Chains A and B, each alone.
Chain A
Amino acid sequence: MTTGDDRPQPENVIQMPAREEELELDAETLETLREALDDLRREIRLRVPDQSVGSRPEPGAESEIDFVALVDGLRRRLSTLGMRERTVEVDDFGLDLALVERAEPVLDWMRSVYWRIEVEGLEHLPESSPALFVANRAGILPWDGLMLAHVIRKAAPRFERPRPMLADWLVTLPFVQAFVARMGGVRACRENADRLLRTGRSVIAFPEGAKGATKTFRERYRLKRFGRGGVVRAAIENGVPIVPVGLVGPEEAHPVMFKSHRVARGVGLPFLPVTPTFPLLGPLGAVPLPTKWVMVFGEPMTPPVPTDAAAEALVISQANAALRERIQALVEVGLDRRDSVWD
């Protein structure tokens, strides 16, 4: 377990003023104070020559006291007076650290007892953070992303919490979207990946996308097309290594026997998966089967940076195909480690 203190705090943990501020100001006093501060601010801004609005003072310039900032601070305190105390702990992508912490024991239990996850190749994790983890994807609900993020964080805290990227259709589902976002999931798109990698946060991508999540049981462990090379492009443009991961087990957690498109259209879903437990058992069908999982980490890859603009597309698609083969090979390794689906 981590010791609570050395963990990086999310940027906007706002500690509301402590109990000292129980003083009760009546409405009129507050209003007068606010108006007085507004007047003061206006006055200062008029007197301070040539200070353009909103601009910060030059970093090198020797400024005496920044009166505007002072008044702004006071006004801000005034307007938050009387607010209930509450710490707001979500980061800019909606990750809720308090929830993640509470979920940690549950995830630990799921890892060691429920899915008995066997992890291999941890020595391949790169020394530098961030990294772009790429894995095969199956099993409707994003359990694989959740567990992979958990395993990586436990094995190598330097990656903080890698963010699993989710297919579009998951984001339209009620509850799933809200819960997954709080656990650190983000929608899969280049803008999000770039922003996360740029700010030093690792990303878990599933380039098979919805095609992978919804493959039927008979197609399991046969990797689908790897998108259009967006993963490779993201790694090149952000200068991060790709870590291929083969996941065995999640593909059987929700074995899709067949997909119904006709019924799905009736209820406004992109497709309706039929598993042994869903829709037969209703919401209980969302409970994944306790299959045996193996996670195999491969050696990091650094895709070649295309030098020739004309050949760029080919270089990318070659690297993309190579990546897919690597993950397929890692999946085979993982399959060999298991005696059966359950063991």
Chain B
Amino acid sequence: MKSPSRIAVTGLNSEDGVRIVERLLSRDPAAKIMGLDLSRPLRLAGKIDFHALDLTSPTADVVLAERLAAEGVEVLVHLAFRSSPTPDIEEDHELETIGSLHVMNAVAAAKLPRLVVSSSTMLYGARPDNPNYLSESHALRGHPDAHCVQNRVEVENLLADWSARNAETEVTILRSGWVVGPSRSNYISRFFEAPVIPTVLGFDPLLQLLHEDDLLDVYEESILHSHPGIWNVVGREALPLSTLVALAGKRRLALPSPLLYRATDFPSIEQTGDRPAGFFDYLRYLWVADGERAWAEFGDPVYSTQEAWSSFVSSRRL
């Protein structure tokens, strides 16, 4: 299959956005890439075609549709999501849900052949009644106390409706687990960087981690070639939380859940504006995803969960 000649990326200034574009440019320095975000990433100055665009503005869909049609874009990569939730719950909703809606409208109007959307396995929700391995067909139950998770569940629901109505656009949804690596920094990595890791007493779930390079590999492949469908992009193997903490040489502070949730309620994790259950339940119950389908489609990840974790830990010690 022929690689697309014109690619558009929303949320360019995000960590993934810049690195994905760098990957695409290193493969083909003459690639025509349109970047969309609020501000211009300096690392890519002069290499791409940048347009400032605020996805939350009421006419963002109209403006975006015009640009996509004018440039003859073939693939749009939608990455305009928060890497860490902010306390501004309303603004997060505007950007993630409404922004995605604008993107969908624009893609439909410009009749784009392909759309690649970033998603997360957190959307399945950490629940005691999850099966040990969640397949792509499992319901997205989210978490009532994590507003960014809820926003993105809504995005996926909208997207499912939308793609039923717009069959001519091929949609690839990449649900990635927690991504770690030397250069990645978000509320999850910052949580694990603390010298003492608070956990829920009496619970030790298996966790699954993906290395940032493996995620980029999958993005690159899904942009260059057609892979329609929903994919769980996760690392191989899963390790108990206690093992991860021990491997990092850190201490675990296990507190009973009522105490932990109350104690962390005020300085809520990284000031996300959410109740702590929205984060700690992911360290309490299982939410491991079954990556078999994606491994068969995109190839084996280079790093296993343990190797991804080691890579993260050793880079932070430097």
Does residue B5 face the partner (Cβ distance < 8 Å to A)?
A: no
* A76-B240 in contact (CB<8A): no
Q: Which of A14, A79, A82, A168 contacts B128 (CB 8 A)?
A: A168
Q: Can you list the 5 inter-chain pairs with the closest CB atoms, starting with the nearest?
A: A174-B202, A54-B299, A191-B131, A79-B311, A175-B202
CA distance A93 to B314 in the complex (A): 27
The interface bits of chain A over 18-31 (1 if a CB of B lies within 8 angstroms of the residue's CB, else 0) are 00000000010011
* B132-A192 in contact (CB<8A): yes
Does residue A46 face the partner (Cβ distance < 8 Å to B)?
A: yes
Query: Per DSSP, are chain A's interface residues mostly helix, strand or loop, or mixed?
Result: mixed
- New A-B contacts (8) at CB < 8 Å, excluding given A86-B247, A195-B133: A12-B236, A45-B27, A52-B225, A174-B202, A178-B203, A190-B131, A191-B133, A191-B135
State how many angstroms separate the Cβ of B235 from the closest Cβ of chain A.
11
State how many angstroms separate the Cβ of A39 from the closest Cβ of chain B.
10
Does residue A186 face the partner (Cβ distance < 8 Å to B)?
A: yes
Q: Are A12 and B240 also in contact (CB < 8 A) when A46-B27, A80-B310 are?
A: no
Does residue B43 face the partner (Cβ distance < 8 Å to A)?
A: no
Would you give 25 A-B contacts (Cβ < 8 Å), ordered by A?
A: A11-B237, A12-B236, A12-B237, A31-B318, A45-B27, A46-B26, A52-B221, A52-B225, A53-B298, A54-B221, A56-B299, A80-B310, A88-B306, A92-B132, A92-B133, A92-B237, A94-B240, A174-B200, A174-B203, A175-B202, A176-B202, A181-B204, A187-B131, A189-B129, A190-B131
* B238-A92 in contact (CB<8A): yes
* A34-B182 in contact (CB<8A): yes
With CB as the reference atom, state the residue of chain A lying closest to B301.
Answer: A54
CA distance A178 to B203 in the complex (A): 5
CA distance A31 to B225 in the complex (A): 33
* B202-A177 in contact (CB<8A): yes
CA distance A11 to B131 in the complex (A): 20
Does residue B271 face the partner (Cβ distance < 8 Å to A)?
A: no
Chain B residues near A46 (CB-CB < 8 A):
26-27
Chain A residues near B26 (CB-CB < 8 A):
42, 46
Does residue A84 face the partner (Cβ distance < 8 Å to B)?
A: yes
* A79-B314 in contact (CB<8A): yes
* B129-A88 in contact (CB<8A): no
State how many angstroms separate the Cβ of B314 from the closest Cβ of chain A.
6
Does residue B224 face the partner (Cβ distance < 8 Å to A)?
A: yes
Number of A-B contacts (CB under 8 A): 125
CA distance A81 to B249 in the complex (A): 14
With CB as the reference atom, state the residue of chain B lying closest to A81.
Answer: B314
CA distance A12 to B220 in the complex (A): 28
* B317-A82 in contact (CB<8A): yes
CA distance A178 to B204 in the complex (A): 6
- Give the size of the chain B interface in residues (CB under 8 angstroms): 50
The interface bits of chain B over 8-40 (1 if a CB of A lies within 8 angstroms of the residue's CB, else 0) are 000000000000000000110000000000000
Q: Which of B133, B182, B201, B249 contacts A79 (CB 8 A)?
A: B182
The B296-318 residues at the A interface (CB cut-off 8 A) are 298-300, 302-304, 306-307, 310-311, 313-315, 317-318
* B304-A12 in contact (CB<8A): yes
Q: Are A53 and B217 also in contact (CB < 8 A) when A178-B203, A186-B132 are?
A: yes
* B131-A56 in contact (CB<8A): no
Does residue A72 face the partner (Cβ distance < 8 Å to B)?
A: yes
The A73-119 residues at the B interface (CB cut-off 8 A) are 75-76, 79-84, 86, 88, 90, 92-94
State how many angstroms separate the Cβ of B243 from the closest Cβ of chain A.
6
State how many angstroms separate the Cβ of B221 from the closest Cβ of chain A.
4
Chain A residues near B131 (CB-CB < 8 A):
187, 189-192, 195
Does residue B246 face the partner (Cβ distance < 8 Å to A)?
A: yes
With CB as the reference atom, state the residue of chain B lying closest to A83.
Answer: B310
Does residue B257 face the partner (Cβ distance < 8 Å to A)?
A: yes
* B307-A80 in contact (CB<8A): yes
CA distance A88 to B242 in the complex (A): 11
* A84-B202 in contact (CB<8A): no
Does residue B206 face the partner (Cβ distance < 8 Å to A)?
A: yes
State how many angstroms separate the Cβ of B125 from the closest Cβ of chain A.
14
Q: Which of B182, B206, B303 contacts A94 (CB 8 A)?
A: B206
CA distance A190 to B137 in the complex (A): 14
